[in-house]
Structure 1
Amino acid sequence: MHLPCTFSASINQAQFDRFAGLLARDFDAEMILSADGYPAQTRSVVGVYPITELIITETTTPEQLKGFCFDSPGPTLGFISYTYGMKLRGIASSKPYDFPLGHLKKYKAIVSFENEKLTFSSSHQTLIDTLSEMLGNMSAHSDTQIDYGPTLSRMKKSLDKNGYEDGVRRTLEYIRSGHTYQLNLSTRLSWHCPELNPLALFTTLCREHPAPFYAWLISGQKRILSTSPERFLAVRDGHVLSQPIKGTLRFDVLTPDAHRQLTDSPKESAELSMIVDLVRNDISANCDYGSVHVKNHKSVFAVDNLLQMYADVHGTLRTDKDCLDLFLDAFPGGSITGCPKKSSMEIIERLEPHSRGIYCGSIVIIEDERNMDSSIAIRTATFDMKTHVLDSYAGSGIVVDSDPVREYQETMAKAEKFLALGES
């Protein structure tokens, strides 16, 4: 189910990122951009000119999702929100939410990049010719970086320092009473910025703070800027891989001792082990019996001046299941809910004053029934083109030995690249 390939060229990562930015600027293209050197590195994909879309609502069924993704040729690109995951789990919310529960699209052309090879795929030869000419003339475009705008206004938090620390203390009460044993608590950071150029902000962040799952998506008046380092689920010809992240250490200068400090921490190790066990359980129902196993437990990589600990959870997709069966049964990802999943999500709904929306949902690229990749939409912001409000989010996993002050500090460290944009 691939569009016919009609053009390819060899270019480097910087050239591709620049070309993708031009496509977004000139054609309202949408994209998932990866970067070299990360355990969750993936294929970069740009969708040009949507030809059909599915806006997910309260009444959208898994069968309708499958029909949209699988019944016509070409990859599907888009997002599925955390709020849709609440619906799947039977968790109600009365919080205002002005975002679709998900938005999926198919395109006239797909531009992809992997291993320094650029590929155009489309059934429209004139569009391929246009893109090829644009690539050939790219050197004629100014390489000057576009300013994303002035310093942002003073930030507002849905949970300020005192509110977040109180939320951690309340979470600890739930843990001690047996309702959860790990829970991800988040806060929303908001700025009013009428002069912001969100695409320029996205390309600046991509250049200065690379990560494996950058995404720029358009949904009505909303623009999505995701800078996630975390893979949710990949399926490649039926082979399943999840790479949950749990365990964080901020650094100014990376030293050899920093890795050991993170991996030797009983608290951080417990966070990861709990979530790995949850992910194993989440994917097992759709994988061959005995195929689910863990490799590289407590591995570490650096992103955004943070050391992050992760593990690789593998499996083999059953022949009578497809990648959306797997995705929906495991969604939302355990690393951003907690354990047990439903109980933790119910507590999150009580503790957090904001709707998460796309935050902690997933950005997806779905090729066919047995091939997809998806992120956990953390380090993610949205910009409203009408209200000019930029919302970003950050959170941390709370366990029984969590310290409220340190958890707030970790949460703010994860938001650092957004915090640096304006006054605090």
Structure 2
Amino acid sequence: MKTPQKISDFKQKALHWANQFEVCCFLDSNHYKDTYSAYDFIIAASVNHELKCAAGNAFNQLKSFYTVHKQWIFGFFSYDLKNEIEDLQSNNPDGLAFPDLYFFVPEYLIAFKEGKAEVLIGDKNILAEIESFQVQKKEKATAVQLSQKLSKAQYIDKVETLRDHILRGDIYEVNFCQEFFAENAAINPVQTFELLNAVSPTPFAGYFKIYNQYILSATPERFLCKRGQKLISQPIKGTAKRSFDPAEDEVIKLQLKNDVKEQAENVMIVDLVRHDLTKSAVKGSVKVEELFGIYSFPQVHQMISTISCELNPEIHFIDAIKNAFPMGSMTGAPKVKAMKLIEEYEVSKRGIYSGSFGCISPDGDFDFNVIIRSILYNSESKYLSFQVGGAITYQSNAAAEYEECLLKASAILKVLEG
């Protein structure tokens, strides 16, 4: 068993070693105790085979890709795959240009559990190579000059308009997001991720490099996971700030737990997820395992519910992902109408933001996160972006929602503004 210091040294070396390759994916649970995580962290590097496609027939192409290789695959689903699932469009500007779907079979795969590293794909000598890998000295990070696509006044105006839609009965709830961005941004992606992961360690954190595009994620949210025949989804709805004073922090936590508005937001999304899982479930097997659980992270407390079902054996597990996509916590209810309003009132294409990345194992188990609290970067165009949002209900106070966006962005702002 390695000591915690040895583990973090190995983790850092493994990440930097993987980053030499044109494509790599690092998934880190950051020591959070989670019933469903298969490994403490897992690193896939270099490409044996890859699939890159646009919305249209992407899920079927992924099915074929998995069937051909029957191997570990790592990849992501962009939010805009919604256009393949429903009659929807994405016409807002996009500065990042991620593919709609990307998966790869790695040449090397190292998994870490209970103090031990294991090579799942590739030469066993790779562990010695990682142990002796020289991590380059940290570059001095330059502060990134961020701009917002929406002013505070524009944001508030749009939230008020969305509340009018709710009053008219068009929707009950919508997840409305705004983009922070920087042009001509020069960052060191791997170091920026390490800093973000240190400031805000979360259970579904990850680093995904695909050539000149990067996802640096401190997401606390699981989209969907499959273990055996069981599917598990854990939507987040409900956020409160942390306090440095332990007594006050406990009070804030209790207030969140008993906040009727936050509970109403959460339960709407739980109902939506139950509905999405029903499409793939053995009849009668969908159940809410935990409602309104309160979980604490470095910047925020979150209200998280857990919904599960047994996968119908006649349904391909990739269709089960498609049936639940995009995740209800990032859309709203009813889902299709909410997505139409998102397209109408947001001013940036979501792209990979509010999509999902993760991995599928050779036996068809999988685990995918929700891409929130994430820095997205295109090193070729030097465009950097992150988006933040929240659930808008009729009870929402537009100015308070704006402040919640800034709270959710706080770790990223701290990292990028130095």
TM-score, normalized by the shorter chain, greater than 0.5: yes
In the other structure, the counterpart of 1:262 is 256
| C-alpha distance in structure 1 between counterparts of 2:347 and 2:212, whole Å | 23
On the 8 A contact 2:357/2:368 being kept in 1, the answer is yes
Q: CA deviation at 1:38?
A: 5.0
| Separation (CA, whole Å) in 2 of partners of 1:363 and 1:346 | 23
**Alignment of 1:331 onto 2:318:** no
- Write out per-residue CA displacement over residues 232-279 of structure 1, whole angstroms, 9 at most, x where no aligned residue: 000011111111100000123242212210011110000111100110
**Residue 26 of structure 1, CA deviation:** 3.1
Does structure 2 retain, via aligned residues, the 8 Å contact 1:148–1:198?
Answer: no
Counterpart position of 2:190: 199
| Corresponding residue of 2:112 | 113
Mapping of residues 167-206 of structure 1, within 5 Å? 167-206=158-197
Question: Could you tell me how far apart the structure 2 residues matched to 1:371 and 1:142 are?
Answer: 33
Cα separation, 1, equivalents of 2:294 and 2:281 = 26
Question: Which letter maps to 2:178?
Answer: T
- Kindly provide the CA deviation profile for residues 208-253 of structure 1, in whole angstroms up to 9, marking residues without a partner as x: 3100112212234211112110000000111111111000001232
What is the SS of the residue equivalent to 1:27? Answer: coil
* Secondary structure of 1:186's aligned partner: strand
Alignment-derived partner of residue 6 in structure 1? none
Structure 1 residue corresponding to 2:237, chosen from 224, 237, 246: 246
Distance 1:316 1:114, change over 3 A: same
SS in 2 for 1:402: coil
User: Deviations for 1:61-85, whole angstroms, at most 9, x for unmatched residues?
Assistant: 4221111123213211011100112
Q: Distance in 2 between the 1:244 and 1:201 partners? A: 27
Match runs of 1:73-152 below 5 Å? 73-97=70-94, 98-122=97-121, 124-125=122-123, 128-129=124-125, 131-138=126-133, 141=134, 146-147=138-139, 149-152=141-144
Alpha-carbon contact 1:152-1:192 (below 8 Å) kept:
no
Give 1:39 deviation, angstroms.
4.6
Aligned residue type for 2:153: N
- In structure 2, do the counterparts of structure 1 residues 23 and 142 end up closer, same or farther at CA, with 3 Å as the change threshold? closer
> In 2, Cα distance between the equivalents of 1:347 and 1:183?
8
How much does 1:17 deviate?
Answer: 2.4
Q: Which residue of 2 aligns with 1:286?
A: 280
Q: Residues 268 and 69 from structure 1, CA distance in 2 versus in 1: closer, same or farther, beyond 3 angstroms?
A: same
Question: CA–CA distance in 1 between the matches of 2:62 and 2:281?
Answer: 20
Say if 1:168 and 1:109 are closer, same or farther in 2 by CA, change over 3 A.
same
Report the equivalent of 2:56.
Answer: 59
Q: Which amino acid is 1:317 matched to?
A: L
CA distance 1:396–1:386, change in 2 (3 Å): same
Q: Does 1:351 align with 2:345?
A: yes
- Please tell me whether residue 341 in structure 1 is matched to residue 338 in structure 2: no
Q: What letter corresponds to residue 36 of structure 1 in structure 2?
A: H
User: One-letter code of the match for 1:62?
Assistant: F
Give the distance between the partners of 1:11 and 1:57, measured in 2 at CA.
44
Q: How many residues align?
A: 408
Kindly tell me: are residues 148 and 245 of structure 1, through their superposed partners in 2, closer, same or farther at Cα, counting changes over 3 Å? farther
Q: 1:116 to 1:413 in 2, by over 3 A?
A: same
Q: Structure 2: 5+ residue runs without aligned partners?
A: none
What TM-score does the superposition give when structure 2 sets the normalisation length? Answer: 0.92
The one-letter amino acid paired with 2:400 is: R
Q: Cα–Cα, structure 1 residues 143 and 115, in superposed 2: closer, same or farther, change >3 Å?
A: farther
2:367 alignment partner in structure 1 = 373
1:31 matched residue in structure 2: 26
Shift of 1:368: 4.0
233-242 or 32-41: which moved more? Answer: 32-41
Counterpart of 2:294, as a letter, is V
1:188 shift after superposition: 0.6
In structure 2, what is the Cα distance between the partners aligned to 1:38 and 1:187? Answer: 32
Q: Could you give the per-residue CA deviations for residues 173-227 of structure 1, whole angstroms, max 9, x where no partner exists?
A: 1100111101101011012354311111001111231001122122342111121
Q: How much has 1:21 moved relative to structure 2?
A: 2.0
Alpha-carbon deviation of 1:106?
0.6
SS in 2 for 1:412: helix
Shift of 1:40: 7.6
Describe the SS at the equivalent of 2:127. Answer: helix
Deviations 1:333-392 (A, max 9, x none): 000000010000000000001000000001121114641000111112211112222101
Deviates more, 1:62-71 or 1:340-349: 62-71
CA pair 142-32 structure 1, distance change in 2 beyond 3 A: closer
SS of residue matched to 1:120: strand
**Partner Cα separation in structure 1 for residue 135 and residue 62 of structure 2:** 41
Matched, 1:316 2:315: no
Give the unaligned 5+ runs of structure 1.
1-8
- Counterpart of 1:228 in structure 2 is 219
Structure 1 pair 264–276 and aligned structure 2 pair: CA distance change class (3 A): same
- In structure 2, relative to structure 1, the CA distance for the partners of 1:299 and 1:40 (3 Å cut) is same
Deviates more, 1:61-70 or 1:257-266: 61-70
